[in-house]
A = this chain, B = another copy of it.
Amino acid sequence: MAKVKKQPRPKALPPKGFRDYFGPEVEEREAMLDQIAEVYKLYGFDALESSAVETVEALGKFLPDVDRPNEGVFAWQEEESDWLALRYDLTAPLARVYAQFRNDLPTPYRRYAMGPVWRNEKPGPGRFRQFYQCDADTVGAPSVAADAEICAMLADTLETVGIPRGDYQIRINNRKVLNGVLEAMGMEDDGIRANVLRTIDKFDKVGAAGVRELLGEGRLDASGAYIDGVGLKDYQVEPVLDFLTAKSDVPSITIDNLANAVGTSQVGMQGVKELDEIGSSLNSLGYSRDRINIDPSVVRGLGYYTGPVYEAELTFEIKDDKGRPRQFGSVAGGGRYDDLVKRFTGQEVPATGVSIGVDRLLAALRMKGRMESKARGPVIVTVMDRDRMASYQSMVGELRAAGIRAEVYLGNPKNFGNQLKYADKRESPIAIIEGSDEAERGVVQVKDLILGAKIAETATHEEWKDQPAQKEIARSDLVAEIRKMLSDG
């Protein structure tokens, strides 16, 4: 008889690039998102939770900054119907929602959104295909007051979650100023403009000298390879560098430098005026230059946005993989994009918004020890005697009624050592023991597991035997004693 072919067992793994989050990781993120939502709400922003799934048609075929059509998203086709996809960010769904409900929503519409997004990209170390975003956008407000407001809110948010003043810097630039510079240079050719933009994007990496070479003849890079330049003449390169290096300690000089770089360009002048407005408005609200500043060297996103762009960096030092000190870097960014709903309605609607990198901000807070982890293991009531289960249940009931996290051991109670191992794995602060002898005498044994662990590390065998981490208390004092031990701990 043919043997029945056995199905291989499924692998107990998530798909590549996906991961799970346990206990404190979940709680800490929740707590941080709650704090951020409070600030956003204070500024008049309303929550929006759009569906995680959109039609590919509504999402559009492009990821921001990515020019591979239809790649980068998880998509599938409904039976003989639409292609659906998981959202890749929170902005594309906002565009769809605003276009759909534009007659019911207030204008301006301030909304915040928090939740996972999905990217169908090659996973790498620390690079996941599902991650959280946390956005705030103002739709339908053309004035730069909306941009200034979001920058102020971003500063408040960072301080609220635990990044103190001095440890962050919000830097503002404006795409219009760059457009003005390009106009002043007579860069009409779209191809060359794109090349110039791409080169400017490397400013963070190669600095002013590098950009100068790359806009001109070319450059020998660190690996020894020669990179062809854009081929601009010196007099054309100059305005770009004037723009990138316009920053001065005195804001009015920065503004003057920028005005100089854009020459007579209308759009450029407009951009400089906007930056000046944002800067002075924030200043008059008390957001001094050490918190929010005009900085033309902010280039990230300049290709994508249409007006002001802003970026929040954490300025404290960390060590990189090789142990070298470097700044923690960017945790949020955003800007103005004025064609949000045009795809749907044909109408141009101005919008500006910010996205906080939730995971990076959490990592920063953990690094600084600013994540007040409220997560604590439960008090464990051990099971000495199966028949006394009701008594153990009463104890945890009393403890919970007093707001103390507590549980009865529900594994096989035969081996008491296993119960203590379990308590250890749960990071339990206290174990409670009540055998029939204790029950008769109206007492319980209380074991301080945190103190116990400390003693176990350092104590001699003799000291260990004295068990100073364990004591007997009256059963009727249980809640009061445990509460006291927890508040001492």
Residues of A within 8 A of B (CB): 9-15, 18-23, 25-27, 30, 34, 37, 41-44, 46-55, 57-58, 60, 74-76, 78, 82, 84, 86, 96-97, 99-100, 105-108, 110, 116, 118, 129-130, 138, 140-143, 145-146, 148-149, 152, 156, 280-281, 284-286, 341, 343-346, 378, 389-390, 393-394, 397, 400, 403-408, 410-412, 422, 425-426
Contacts and interface: CB of A to CB of B under 8 A. Distances in A.
Contacts of A46: 22-23
Given A11-B57, A130-B53, A107 B422 contact: yes
Nearest to A24: B47
A304 B275 CA distance: 64
A114 to B, nearest CB: 9
B400 A42 contact: yes
Given A21-B50, A42-B404, 14 more contacts: A11-B58, A12-B96, A12-B97, A14-B100, A20-B50, A21-B47, A30-B37, A44-B406, A106-B426, A145-B389, A149-B393, A281-B393, A284-B393, A285-B394
B344 A12 contact: yes
Contacts of A27: 47
A286 B118 CA distance: 47
A248 B458 CA distance: 61
Summarize A's interface: helix, strand, loop or mixed.
mixed
A130 B76 CA distance: 16
B14 A118 contact: no
A233 to B, nearest CB: 37
Nearest to A55: B15
A37 B118 CA distance: 26
A405 B46 CA distance: 11
A232 B397 CA distance: 47
Contacts of A143: 410
A240 B115 CA distance: 49
Contacts of A96: 12-14
B53 A118 contact: yes
A364 to B, nearest CB: 20
A44 B11 contact: no
Contacts of A408: 145, 149
Given A42-B405, A393-B284, A410-B108, A75 B74 contact: no
Given A14-B54, A400-B42, A410-B108, A97 B20 contact: yes
A54 B15 contact: yes
Nearest to A408: B145
A57 B22 contact: no
A104 to B, nearest CB: 8
Given A14-B96, A75-B76, A106-B425, A284 B390 contact: yes
Contact of A76 (B76, B341, B425): B76
A14 B106 CA distance: 20
Contact of A26 (B48, B97, B378): B48
Contacts of A43: 400, 405, 407
Contacts of A146: 410
A345 B9 contact: yes
Given A106-B425, A397-B285, A343 B9 contact: yes
Nearest to A410: B141
A187 to B, nearest CB: 27
8 contacts: A11-B57, A14-B54, A20-B49, A27-B47, A106-B422, A145-B410, A281-B393, A284-B393
Contacts of A345: 9, 12
B286 A397 contact: yes
A411 B57 contact: no
A106 B51 CA distance: 35
A400 B40 CA distance: 11
Contacts of A97: 12, 20
A397 B286 CA distance: 10
A84 B15 contact: yes
Contacts of A280: 390
Contacts of A34: 30, 34
